[in-house]
Amino acid sequence: MGWKFSEDTPIYLQLIEALKTDIVSGKYRSGDRLPAVRDLAFEAGVNPNTVQRAYAELERQGLVQSERTSGRFVSIDDKKIEELRKDLSDAYIRDLFKKLNDLGMNDKTIRDVLSKWRDE
């Protein structure tokens, strides 16, 4: 993954969002081992403490589990991952509607455009 971070959001939050997307998209499946803190930090070009903070938050949210000497693994709780998928998709749709509303489109027009786009 080519890591590009924006300056308006803390890097650890951007790492969390990227990892959540990787989990729901299947890059990291239920039970898969996540990269070691130092490996991901090197790949992303960030401080290992930043990755540690992101992993700790994902663990707090129940999406990642630590095994003392083996590393961190994606949760095997498929319900939790499906919940995450729904939450992310809802957020993307909300953001899309907000941006299109800001362009002057009303909700009915947006739905019509999306329906037409899907059918093409």
pLDDT tens readout for residues 17-35:
999 999 999 999 999 999 9
Q: Indicate yes or no: pTM above 0.85.
A: no
SS3 labels along the chain: CCCCCCCCCCHHHHHHHHHHHHHHHCCCCCCCECCCHHHHHHHHCCCHHHHHHHHHHHHHCCCEEEECCCEEEECCCHHHHHHHHHHHHHHHHHHHHHHHHHCCCCHHHHHHHHHHHHHC
Q: Tell the CATH topology of 11-76.
A: Arc Repressor Mutant, subunit A (1.10.10)
Q: Judging by DSSP bridges, how do beta strands 71-74 and 64-67 pair with one another?
A: antiparallel
Q: What is the mean pLDDT of residues 85-105?
A: 94
pLDDT of residue 86: 96
